[in-house]
Amino acid sequence: MTAFPEGTILGYPRIGRRRELKKAVEAFWAGRIDEQQLEQTSAELRAATRDRLAALGLGRTDSAIPESFSYYDQVLDAAVAVGAIPSRFEGLRSADGTIGLPAYFTIARGEGERAPLEMTKWFDSNYHYLVPEIGPETVFSLSSDRLVREVAEGVAAGFVTRPVVVGPVTLLALAKASDDAPEGFDPLSRLNDLLPVYLELLSKLKSAGAEWVQLDEPALVSESLPASTAQLADAAARALAVLGGTAERPSILVAAPYADLGDVFPVLAAAPIEAIAVDLVRGGIPTAAPGLEGKTLVGGVVDGHNIWRSDLAAAFDKLEALRALGTPVAAGTSTSLLHVPHDVADESLLDPSLVSWLAFADQKVEQVGILARGLAEGRAAIVDELDAASAALADRLAAPGVRDGAVRRRELADADFSRVSYEERETAQEALGLPALPLTTIGSFPQTGDIRRARARFTRGEIPAEDYEDFLRREVAGVVSLQEELGLDVLVHGEPERNDMVQYFAENLDGFAVTENGWVQSYGSRATRPSILWGDVSRPAPITVGWSSFAQSLTTKHMKGMLTGPVTILAWSFVRDDQPLGETANQVALALREEIEDLEAAGIAIIQVDEPALRELLPLKKADQPAYLDWSVASFRLATGGAAAGTQVHTHLCYSEFGVVIDAIRALDADVTSIEAARSRMEVVADIAEVGFGHGIGPGVYDIHSPRVPTVDEVESLLRRAVEEIPTRQLWVNPDCGLKTRGYDETTASLRNIVEATRRVREDISVGV
């Protein structure tokens, strides 16, 4: 066994410091560059990453640098590598049985009648992964050697890197049964068939020069998957006995981030592997277990989930406690750094004091290096760095705005968290005059190149505010006109003034800061810039009222006011970690409550408070879930609790397992809830029907994360399934999510098909078919 390095990270951002990968991939999709040019760009990005990590202090030849690149998604990478693709994509294989890059993207995005893989959230993060589809018919075979080639690429450049691959247990635990599988089929039952392919992959990685391999097994910490902890632990024991039982492999590091390993840790300790990475930000110091001696424990003490500068003294204390177990210890990150931006040094507009409190990916690598040096040379060798981190933490806690007396003096009563009964509201809202199966969209319309260019020019001061506002008014007027022409019932203004559904509010609330280059991958080629919530939150002035009022003045139909909910604002920001999340959520909720009051005063009768991230923040451990659901639901109810009975409050959830949080969704007490349902082919309606969900519900009929235009028949089929399960009076018709990422041609065609499909179903309803 090659010794494990004293410091490492579990992964690094892969989109590029200026989103170079996004731009190259989208250029390839658009036909502006060919596959060879795309491969060249990605090779340059990987080379730049290796060089950067080496410059930051990770070893070039000791496997400290992870090989964690992906064109789209690491779960898709693993599924393609082992040939686990649905039968509808089998025809995309090359003559030798391999799956090339164009086929890889087709599986991710869909094409024609081939629907893409379903997408959902990666554990409790805002990253989305593609859900493998596996059945008894799935034939596993090594179908891509891309990771092997990337390792060899590093070796040729003088690096010995550590390839990262999603482990077999997590791959199967996150998969869904294929359409061809019998009812009740469990993909985890295919573990024994899958392991020979992983063995072949490990052998090839070793031959390419890999001395260590990282198997990511975060499923082992989750209690929110179909498989129980006991089943996952048993699967891990069986898998690692096979994978660790051969000499034709690199040394194995098993990483299990995002929560405490708990009862699964002894299973890993006893397995024939060489290292275990434990999350010591979300979990505690494990207890010594048989078989642990000689294994390296990688202590994940630098938070890979957030951007705050680490308390290095406390982190080093944890590493020393870990070393007390009597086995080698290395310093590391709690998770991959996929979830944070590249480098805080790129942020020239942030307040210098705020910058001193922050650590993006590059700063976290440096922090790991400091801790690794302390492990090697002793605490005294890094005392200056520990003291500097402690001083920054003290400065942050005492800084103006972190605690605002005016915000904290607000007193809340139980009545602030509730409205009148749903039955009373339903009666009052009959005055809205909506038809059966009301047609609407989720909020945003395409953010065109013209919109982005105009925003950039305005930001740079190249056009005056009045010209920019005139441009936005024309955009809003066009969106309203299009919706009226298509025949939608409840309209939106399209949000051209918003660069992001969270950042827009962050820019208009006290207690937030926004970045220039703080991009984080959300899914595929899509990235967001999470805002930084650093202090107490308040609303200095109305935020959305002007644009909603203007849009309403253009139509006699109802215009939705569009707000982002408190939980989602927290989930999609980097949030202060010096107080409970529930306290911060209530501060945001009170600001939104004021906004709702002003929208009502302006005559807006339908207001949507989006909470797409409600499921996302659900803790992975069941014991922690009730407290989270209590404060998350309470914050939404606080935001909406002042709305009049006749004001119809909508909310929206996307890419989350509806059934898991159905009670919480019911407790939100929104009048209408729209949810993702198209990519999963309306599977969610069974959950809705089973629990007797009685409020308005809009299961999505258009998967906006794929460029496919759904046919009229396809949408009609989804709608009819919904009508079969849910009373018509409750049903709304809408896309899965906002239309920001789509183009106008596909958006218009898709909405036109949705309108026609709805017309057909309405006709049948009217005649009692």
Q: How far apart are CA 630 and CA 80, in angstroms?
A: 40
Give me the DSSP letters along 510-549: EEEE--SS--EEEETTEEE--EEEEEEEE-SS-SSHHHHH
* β-strands 648-653, 672-675 pairing: parallel
- Centre a 10 Å sphere on the Cβ of residue 695 and count the other Cβ atoms it contains: 17
Residue 329's SS3 state is strand
Pick the closest to residue 643 from 386, 422, 323 (CA basis): 422
Token look-up 């998350």 returns: 632
From residue 520, alpha-carbon distances to 33, 401, 525, 591 in Å are 24, 26, 10, 26
CA 461 to CA 509: how far, in whole Å?
22
Contact 486, 755 (CB under 8 A): yes
Q: Which residues pair with 696 in a beta bridge?
A: 672
65 phi and psi, to 5 degrees?
-90, 120
Cα–Cα nearest to 359, from 335, 342, 378: 342
Residue 165 pairs with which residues in a beta bridge?
Answer: 215
State how far the Cα of 581 lies from the Cα of 3, in Å rounded to an integer.
Answer: 40
Identify the residue whose tokens are 């945003």. 444
Q: Which residues contact 296 (CB under 8 A, 6 or more apart)?
A: 4, 253, 274, 275, 276, 327, 328, 329, 330
Name the burial class of residue 279, with classes exposed (0-12), middle (13-18) and buried (19+) by CB atoms within 10 angstroms of its CB.
Answer: buried
Structural contact between residues 527 and 22, judged by C-beta atoms closer than 8 angstroms: yes
Q: Is 705 a catalytic residue?
A: yes
Backbone angles phi, psi at 221, to 5 degrees: -100, -5
- Tally the residues of the chain: 769
Dig out the tokens for 630 from the structure: 């209590």
Contact 517, 488 (CB under 8 A): no
The residue type at 403: R
- Distance CA(565)–CA(217), nearest Å, equals 32
Question: Out of 305, 342, 493, 705, which one is annotated catalytic?
Answer: 705
Going by C-alpha positions, the residue among 523, 439, 435 that lies closest to residue 735 is: 439
Tokens of 286: 């494990």
Please give the Cα distance from 166 to 171 (Å, whole number): 6
How far is Cα 614 from Cα 122, in angstroms, rounded to an integer? 14
Q: Rounded distance, CA 508 to CA 321, Å? A: 44
Name the residues annotated as catalytic.
705
